[in-house]
Amino acid sequence: METTGEPEVDVADRVAAAVLGVPGVHALHPGAFGEIATYLPGRRVAGVRVADERCEVHVVLQWPAPLAATTDAVRAAVRAVVPGPVDVTVGDVVGPGAP
C-alpha cells in the first residue's frame, strides 16, 4: 500500500472534529497532566479517549454556553461517530475573547 505521508485519520480524529463542531465548545481539554488522549502511531489526539466499549471526551466550554445543553450536544455528536456510552467532562470554561 502506498502512503502519502499524511497521518491516518482515526476514529479519535473524527470524534475530535465532531466535538469541536458543537457550538459552545472552545477546545478539547487534555486533562491536568495530558493524560486524556488517544495515542496513535507518532501522535496523539488530546482530549479524546476511545476504548472498546465507551468514549471519553474532555472539553473547554466558551462562556456563556449552557452546561447541560452543550454537554448533551457533545454526547450526541460523538454518538453519531461511535456507538455506546459517552462520558463528557468539562475541564474548563473560558470567557469571551479567549484565544
Q: Residue 47: which domain range?
A: 11-94
pTM of the model: 0.87
Q: Is residue 88 pLDDT above 70, yes or no?
A: yes
pLDDT of residue 31: 93
Tally the domains of the chain. Answer: 1
Give a yes or no: residue 32 inside a domain.
Answer: yes
Residue 68: pLDDT band with limits 50, 70, 90? very high
**Euclidean distance between CA atoms 48 and 34, whole angstroms:** 11
Give a yes or no: residue 76 inside a domain.
Answer: yes
Residue range 25-64, pLDDT digits in tens: 999 999 999 999 999 888 999 999 998 889 999 999 999 9
H/E element, 49:
strand 48-50
CATH of the domain at 89: 3.30.70.1350
- Contact call for residues 48 and 19 (beta carbons, < 8 A): yes
